[in-house]
Copies of this chain bind each other. A is one copy, B any other.
């Protein structure tokens, strides 16, 4: 599996000039929701390297990804190996996911809470498969306030143990159930192979933690929360996902069932973009989390946890980006429309700038996130490339002739070149309506394009040979499966592909012979290389 260390200077070949130049622009990510007149340094007249300096995706997906993260000013490397700084452009993408999920969790009866980050080491050991899964990845605090601690503390890799410690005190009777909590937090997992957003030592996420009286309610919750992740991925991030069940080998350490949404990155790899876990009574038994039911009998609660993280930003990059850089779904874009006034000679400014100001103000008043880039020291082409790299969905081009004619040009980020350009009236009402429609169109088209790509890259296989061929070609293999964890491992060792999920949506015509063992398989599973 190819992989880059964060500290590898993957960009050194591009030369210092570009990196410095692009770094300079970072200071200007100011009011994301307002119209801002930005100025950029003089040294940046022409991008070095490919368009805007980004390695073409087709040439080297991994370099392309890192280029987009860096030059798109989404994140930078922290001083500790494997950590990252999420920069404003990247953080705003996280905020759009936060807002959506937070609203949906509250609508479905969950409250936010906050649990301590520092967990006694002994807690992690209480649930057998949990400790097996997480012990190798722990960051451990051994000193506090200048003294050695009596018991080492673990920085949470996830909070099931801490939550159960509290739930066992809070929950007494059946009337205390269901208990539906969520927290927004950072977690630390000591990963060896890291990549910005996709796998980092520290990351941000939400983790839901719920307790129920019955197994049925817990199972329903695990599925309902996965549905919210499906909504968020498809509707907000324009990212098609396959919802399904994880195999035992790929399930969360401590779960009875793990459900997942799997997205296809544009290199054909799978990205696990969100998971929910039916924990059954595993943690309840380890932590004695019990309740008295209505008959006065003491019972263990049934639990669920679920999480989505800043990894989603890596998904947005990898699913939607192209050779020109980032491509943001309008619902996530911190800037939805950038205005680029085109001034060909002195004296043009007044009329054009006035028109731009008016249209930008009208769009902003309608709730559209706008920005004006009127830097006179940059060519229009340079400015076009810059905002394409940043993934802004729409660009409005406006010069003196446009003002005379009362119409401007709107260019769509999702359709590069001439076919993405159209004329739009400068009548304020028509303009705003046109922009709103275009934003909807871009959002819808990005989803369709990603879905088309995915469907074209899933191969239905019936044999191990077909699976191997599909995986070798960088595609997903979907086929009848009745194998064991050991069988999965055979495939993993040979092809690097893992069982991503057993999709909820199953084809007709089953059972069929398992692609590996030949035994009757009542389900198909998807195998792919993954992040």
Contacts and interface: CB of A to CB of B under 8 A. Distances in A.
Interface of A: 20, 23-24, 26-33, 39-41, 76, 78-80, 83-88, 91-92, 94-95, 106-107, 109-120, 123, 135-146, 152-153, 155, 162, 165-166, 169-173, 175-181, 185-186, 188, 190-192, 201-202, 204
Contacts of A169: 23, 76
How many monomers of this chain does the complex have? 2
Nearest to A146: B136
Contact of A23 (B111, B139, B144, B170): B170
Contacts of A32: 106, 111
Contacts of A145: 136-139, 190-192
B123 A79 contact: yes
A172 B116 contact: no
A261 to B, nearest CB: 24
A167 to B, nearest CB: 10
25 contacts: A26-B170, A26-B176, A27-B171, A30-B180, A31-B107, A31-B111, A76-B166, A76-B169, A78-B115, A79-B162, A79-B165, A80-B118, A80-B119, A80-B120, A85-B114, A85-B166, A86-B113, A88-B113, A114-B204, A117-B186, A117-B188, A118-B139, A136-B145, A139-B141, A139-B153
B27 A119 contact: no
A28 B191 CA distance: 38
A91 B183 CA distance: 10
Contacts of A165: 79
B85 A116 contact: yes
Given A27-B178, A139-B141, A92 B76 contact: no
A175 B114 contact: no
A6 B24 CA distance: 47
A78 to B, nearest CB: 4
A306 B473 CA distance: 53
Contact of A83 (B116, B180, B188): B116
Contacts of A186: 117, 185-186
Contacts of A135: 146
A91 B113 contact: yes
A176 B27 contact: yes
